[in-house]
């Protein structure tokens, strides 16, 4: 039996915090909502502290997978409980910790079925954390599915605006993705003939032939790409964003879509570098179409959440374009964009959620002059919009800059189209801000109260993260680079 445990199992501690939090919530009586919220805040806070510690403690000089935990589970099938973190997964773990904690605080005013809501959120986030740290293909697939299952109930029960339709559509799309990922994983394991699901072992040079890699990569790219919102498989995404409650929208757009992009990177590109190289032009084309399509469709929307939903399609296209360039800057920018977009959309949806809870409308034309009524709430909203535009000194600026520089070198036509899409995206973001926050005040909302200091805490955390990594991008890029350089050496 192969057992390898870090001095302290920090990664398992994150999973344990989620599971213990879930169990405590399940044990508490449903009417003790205040205790359930404090328990949720406490355990999500522990995961945030652990994820920050892992990010800060990672040895950049050493690089590679660190904090490794490995224990054989089903030796006959070559399945192990195998976790590790590198320069690609650490930003995602940090992102999940931030969005999880701030999402719990954002839902502090929830009164309807509080126990069930937070229990499902804890189950969902357990799958997300597991997916980002797993190095065994079997567990990657299991965690992937665990993170998807609670979404249906969270949207169908606590959602709004055609919530049953949105929940069912999302579930069917994501199940279709799973239906491609599982056979691809089994195919790779069988073709390797090593009798193991060990991701690192299977990635050894010469293990998988070029034909196997090309076929498996296509399945993995579509399977994970559905969750990443890759055009034309994105249609579940804006509908799901609109229907989901605030915290679920934050996790949905902030973290879940990153699971898809991370799956393409960690499983598809890591195991099938020749397949990645073969399909990269197609990836670049679909990503560019997604950037332009998301920007133009977002421009015509009248619902705030639909605007943000289509902007997410556009921004996730930037991630896909960066990965398709097969350059160090492109991959660094793509991973940085996954982090920056996750924090930005969490701030966006938390701001829109606050506005909707007070005004009971998301229609832009009905929301004039909010800046005079709720100046603090609209400030958070404007910061999120500026981050989406890619204003300098905010986190997304550096991510988008790296991706566009790389795309101009590798795919100049796509690069020009992508920048054009970004300009349109900036136009519709500014239009949304102008119509929502400025102009004549709707007297119907004159009595509304602004965000209190307590409710503002999660928004302040998200703004601080956006500004911190915008002013000091090397804090993030130095970690990502430790994985990018050896990763590119795998290309034939």
Torsion (CA) 358, 363, 367, 373 in degrees, nearest 10 = 20
CB atoms within 10 A of CB 239: 22
Spatial distance between the Cα atoms of 230 and 321, rounded to a whole number of angstroms: 11
Q: Which residues contact 57 (CB under 8 A, 6 or more apart)?
A: none
pTM: 0.93
Can you name the residues that pair with 136 across neighbouring β-strands?
Answer: 198
| pLDDT tens series, the chain, 492 aa | 455 555 778 999 999 999 999 999 999 998 898 999 999 999 999 999 999 999 999 999 998 899 999 999 998 888 999 999 999 999 999 999 999 999 899 888 778 888 999 999 999 999 999 999 999 999 999 998 888 888 888 888 877 777 788 888 888 888 888 899 999 999 999 998 888 899 999 988 888 888 999 999 999 999 999 888 888 888 777 777 777 777 777 777 778 888 889 999 999 999 999 999 999 999 999 999 999 998 888 888 888 888 888 888 888 899 999 999 999 999 999 999 999 999 988 898 888 888 888 888 878 878 877 888 888 888 988 898 888 888 888 888 899 999 999 999 999 999 999 888 888 888 878 888 888 888 777 777 777 788 888 888 999 999 999 999 999 999 999 999 999 988 888 776
Spatial distance between the Cα atoms of 64 and 207, rounded to a whole number of angstroms: 20
- Residue 22 CA, chain-centre distance (Å), reads 22
- pLDDT, residue 243, reads 76
Spatial distance between the Cα atoms of 147 and 150, rounded to a whole number of angstroms: 7
- pLDDT, residue 190, reads 93
Can you name the residues that pair with 134 across neighbouring β-strands?
Answer: 83
Reduced to 3 states, what is the DSSP secondary structure of residue 424? helix
- pLDDT, residue 469, reads 94
> φ and ψ at 462, to 5 degrees?
-65, -40
Helix and strand tally (H, E) in the chain?
21, 3
The full set of domain ranges for the chain reads: 10-489
- pLDDT, residue 1, reads 44
Torsion (CA) 354, 128, 266, 399 in degrees, nearest 10 = 20
Spatial distance between the Cα atoms of 158 and 118, rounded to a whole number of angstroms: 11
């Amino acid at each position: 039996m192969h057992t390898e445990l870090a001095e302290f199992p920090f990664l398992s501690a994150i999973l344990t915090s989620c599971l213990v939090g879930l169990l405590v919530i399940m044990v508490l009586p449903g009417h003790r909502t205040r205790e359930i919220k404090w328990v949720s805040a406490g355990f999500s806070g522990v995961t945030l502290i652990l994820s920050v510690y892992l990010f800060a403690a990672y040895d950049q000089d050493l690089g590679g997978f660190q904090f490794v935990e490995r224990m054989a589970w089903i030796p006959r099938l070559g399945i192990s409980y195998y976790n590790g973190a590198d320069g690609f997964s650490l930003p995602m773990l940090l992102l999940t910790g931030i969005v999880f904690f701030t999402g719990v605080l954002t839902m502090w005013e929830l009164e309807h079925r509080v126990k069930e809501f937070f229990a499902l959120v804890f189950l969902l986030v357990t799958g997300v954390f597991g997916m980002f740290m797993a190095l065994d293909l079997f567990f990657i697939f299991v965690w992937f599915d665990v993170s998807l299952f609670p979404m249906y109930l969270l949207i169908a029960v606590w959602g709004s605006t055609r919530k049953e339709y949105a929940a069912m559509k999302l579930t069917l799309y994501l199940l279709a993705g799973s239906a491609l990922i599982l056979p691809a994983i089994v195919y790779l394991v069988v073709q390797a003939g090593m009798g193991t699901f060990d991701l690192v072992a299977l990635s050894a040079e010469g293990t998988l032939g070029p034909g196997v890699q090309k076929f498996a990569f296509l399945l993995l790219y579509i399977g994970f790409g559905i969750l990443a919102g890759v055009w034309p498989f994105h249609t579940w995404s804006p509908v799901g964003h609109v229907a989901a409650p605030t915290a679920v929208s934050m996790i949905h757009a902030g973290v879940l879509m990153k699971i898809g992009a991370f799956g393409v990177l960690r499983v598809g590109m890591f195991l099938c570098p020749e397949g990645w190289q073969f399909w990269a032009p197609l990836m670049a084309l679909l990503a560019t179409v997604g950037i332009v399509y998301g920007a133009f469709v977002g421009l015509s929307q009248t619902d705030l959440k639909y605007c943000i939903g289509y902007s997410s399609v556009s921004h996730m296209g930037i991630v896909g374009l960066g990965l398709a360039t097969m350059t160090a800057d492109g991959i660094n920018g793509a991973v940085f964009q996954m982090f920056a977009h996750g924090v930005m959309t969490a701030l966006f949806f938390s701001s829109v959620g606050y506005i909707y809870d007070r005004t009971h409308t998301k229609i832009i034309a009905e929301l004039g002059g909010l800046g005079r009524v709720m100046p603090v709430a609209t400030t958070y909203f404007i910061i999120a919009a500026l981050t989406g535009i890619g204003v300098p000194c905010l986190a997304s600026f550096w991510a988008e800059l790296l991706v566009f520089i790389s795309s101009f070198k590798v795919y100049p036509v796509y690069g020009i189209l992508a920048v054009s899409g970004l300009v349109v995206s900036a136009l519709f973001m500014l239009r949304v801000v102008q119509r929502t926050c400025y102009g004549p005040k709707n007297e119907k909302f004159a009595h509304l109260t602004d965000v209190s200091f307590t409710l503002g805490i999660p928004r302040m955390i998200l703004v601080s993260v956006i500004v911190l990594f915008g002013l000091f991008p090397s804090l993030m890029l130095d970690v990502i680079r430790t994985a990018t350089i050896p990763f590119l050496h795998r290309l034939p």
